[in-house]
Amino acid sequence: MANSALLEDGILDAGLEDAEAKRELARLFDRNFIDLATEADAIRRELHPNDIVTYIVDRNINYTNVCWVACSFCAFYRTKRQEQKGDGYTLSIEQVLQKIQETVDLGGTGILMQGGLHPDIGMEYTTDLIRAIRREFPQVHVHALSPAEIWHLVDKSGLSLEEVLRELKAAGLMSIPGGGAEILTDETRRRISPAKNSTQAWMEVMETWHSLGMKSTATMMFGIDESYEERIEHLLNVRKLQARTGGFTAFIDWVFQPDNTTYLKKHPDFKKASSLDYLKTTAIARIVLDNIPNIQASWVTQPMKTASIALHAGCNDMGSIMIEENVVKEAGAEYHTTEAELRSIIERSGFRPAKRSTLYDRSFEPGISPEDF
């Protein structure tokens, strides 16, 4: 980072191994929002000098909500027993194809497909599904399967992680989402989702996938009683991996939505992170992750005006129109938009809207040339 007003030279690269550097970085959260936003915005301008804010039209398809992991923060999953009683679902390949047809009819260019870790779903269903999608909709980008789902396939198949990823790639998987990162410190992971994969396991999936020449995103769900130092550790873990592989296209952070979760039942006085906390955390993410090209504003878990402010605090992307979203909706997130509204909000925030692909190719936007980026 050139001439940072807030950070000493070299502190970001020292941060993970040096406890004092990490504490120093955590003190960024004590700075006022304007200082953080100013620095984050300068980095955004350096990376995206033409004031273009991108977005995608795609659909979030959750192929099953049945999951054995039972994360305390998740309002989406159902047990296999609940599924047997009719409260839970697994989509057939035909049902998924139908949803993609609807997506294409609405102008969607990709799907984000994730699901629970269903005890009965393994490689056969998954590769058959991906192959069928690629065969029927070769123009649709398939962005699917977070690291926890991939480890589930490793466990079910007896194959190595690399073998599973190679098979998924051969079936037609094009990129993977960074979901399930939550907070990448084992202390928080043990506290909120003890049965889920470790920090190292999340990183290993990403590193192996990137080593196959493939791309993914990175995420962070925060505001679940973790410390600021843990948020910094999460960001530094992602930064360090990106320095090795260059495989992350974007970083997306959002605030934990507590409604209908066992976490809220166990912590009835829990208070959701504020919009200011979201904005400061996102600006800090832009500052720490200056080696990741794109940062998304989370309008799904924040009021649109907060997302609009985030565009002046480091974000250069408004994420997805998301024709369907089930996971955070179950946990109380309630914001929706249309493509026309999103474009208008981007313009009113002082930027040029551009429709993009899953891998941030802007050729979907008429009148925008590659030099504009």
| CB closer to ligand SF4, 39 vs 204 | 204
Instruction: Say whether residue 67 binds ligand SF4 (CB under 6 A).
Output: yes
Nearer to ligand SF4, 65 or 175 (CB): 65
Residues 196-235 vs ligand SF4: string with x where CB under 6 A?
x---------------------------------------
| N residues, the chain | 373
Q: Which of residues 148-187 bind ligand SF4 (CB under 6 A)?
A: 148
The whole-angstrom separation of Cα 111 and Cα 114 is 10
Chain centre to alpha carbon of residue 276:
20
- Which residues, 117 to 136, sit near ligand SF4 by CB under 6 A? 117
- Interaction residues for ligand SF4, span 70-89 (CB under 6 A): 70-71, 74, 76-77
Return binding residues for (3R)-3-methyl-D-ornithine.
146, 298, 320
Compare residues 36 and 67 and give the one whose CB is closer to ligand SF4: 67
Sign of CA dihedral 250, 254, 259, 263: positive
Quick one: 67 or 130, whose CB is closer to ligand SF4? 67
Residue 144 near ligand SF4 by CB under 6 A: no
Contacts for 23 with CB less than 8 Å, ≥ 6 apart: 229
Positions at the binding site: 67, 71, 73-74, 146, 182, 298, 320
Residues 205 and 30: their CA atoms lie apart, in Å, by: 34
Binding to ligand SF4 by residue 63, rule CB under 6 A?
Answer: no
Handedness of CA 45, 221, 344, 109 (dihedral sign): positive
The H-assigned helical ranges of the chain are 11-14, 19-26, 33-47, 80-84, 93-105, 123-136, 147-157, 161-171, 186-192, 199-211, 228-245, 262-266, 275-288, 304-310, 327-330, 339-348
Give 22 or 196: the residue with its C-beta nearer to ligand SF4: 196
Cβ closer to ligand SF4: 77 or 251? 77
Q: Which of 116, 177, 178, 314 binds ligand SF4 (CB under 6 A)?
A: 116
Residue 55 in tokens: 């977005």
Interface with ligand SF4 by CB under 6 A: which residues? 67, 69-71, 74, 76-77, 116-117, 148, 193, 196
